[in-house]
Amino acid sequence: MRKWFRSFYSSGLFIPFILLLPYMCTIALNGADKALLLHSPGVEDMVPLMLMVQMKGDYAEEAVKAQAVIARSEVYRRLEEGESEGEILDEVSESIAGKNRERRVEQMTAATEDEEVLSFRIAELNSGRSFVVGYGGVWKLLSAVDKLQQYGAAAEATVGQVLTYNGKLKLVPYHEISSGKTRDGTEVFHSAEYGYLKSVESSQDREAPGYVNSAYVPASQLPAKLVVKKRDSAGYVTALTADGNWLEGETFRQGMHLASADFSVQKVGKMVRFLCKGKGHGLGFSQYGGNEMAKKGSSWEEILETYFPEMEVEVVMEMGKMLLKIEKLLLL
């Protein structure tokens, strides 16, 4: 029984179980036909799950609502581009399971000094045979339910509302912490198509825990000469050379698993230090900055207006594969 619970939780299968629980109860009490009449899963059901993937830690209510609008916008955009709800839900479920594994690896690394034991336990985790034992696992499951309830409330409070530009669904990016200023879409993607993503001040991010991050890499594992060549207006590296070969800044950041592309390169003995500011790509919504605004009394509308000044909030409803706009809320 204990092994079954470990595997069940670590795989992320508890998520659809929680979602389906109300329908299972309805079927038991009233029959399957009543369950189908009462509700048909759709975009709004996916929003709380997407928030579980997109948000780390605790956030103020209005910040969660802002992220809910961003998540919903992303789902509708992907549906409009031809993806199915099933494909999106599968991806979200896999991401949730991945976050569970990452969190457990961090816990085991902190608690285990013996490298051989740690390697064995991580291998068990990856095989789906090991997770939380006893009451700890139950507590984490209940915590996940609480989070889903919080995210469900945020989705309900913003139901149907999405961000658009010139009446069209567009890419609405977000990140954890900016470097103090978010990035300009045209500079990042080298295309006027993303000009609606404007660089805005987010100076409160500089006070965030984890704003400055260092990564050390043995010099022997890197090119002999790394030189930053270009930065954008927000300070993020857009181009660098490795022994004379040109590299794109964000691609290098992701390949090196750096916290941010706003980094400097320093030689420290036999190591190379990458000093990073912020967390994430720095484009669009800063979750930390939005949360600080929420804690000071800003509404989710005001938060989105700050980070997406060129975009509008519109209310939509589903009609099969079509989106029907029923109201427009200008962010002025």
Q: What is the pLDDT of residues 263-302, one digit of tens each?
A: 999 999 999 999 999 999 999 999 999 999 999 999 999 9
* pLDDT tops 80 at residue 132: no
Residue 131 three-state SS: coil
Token reading at 210: 């984890």
CA–CA gap between residue 156 and residue 169 (Å, rounded)? 20
Q: What angle do CA 207, 267, 234 make, to 5 degrees?
A: 40
Tens of pLDDT, residue by residue over 5-39, are: 455 445 555 555 555 555 455 445 444 443 333 34
Residue 38 three-state SS: helix
Length of the chain: 332
What does pLDDT average to over the chain? 80
Which contiguous run of DSSP H or E holds residue 40? none
Alpha helices (H) in 158-286, listed in sequence order: 185-189, 249-255
State the greatest distance between any 2 C-alpha atoms of the chain, in Å, as a whole number: 71
Q: What angle do CA 5, 10, 16 make, to 5 degrees?
A: 85
Domain range annotation of the chain: 2-161, 208-277
Tens of pLDDT, residue by residue over 211-221, are: 999 999 999 99
Alpha helices (H) in 165-239, listed in sequence order: 185-189
| Parallel/antiparallel/unpaired status of strands 237-242 and 263-268 | unpaired
In the chain, what percentage of residues exceed pLDDT 90? 58
57 — phi, psi (to 5°)? 85, -165
* pLDDT tops 90 at residue 321: no
Please name the amino acid found at residue 107: Q
* pLDDT tops 70 at residue 223: yes
Kindly report the pTM of this predicted structure.
0.75
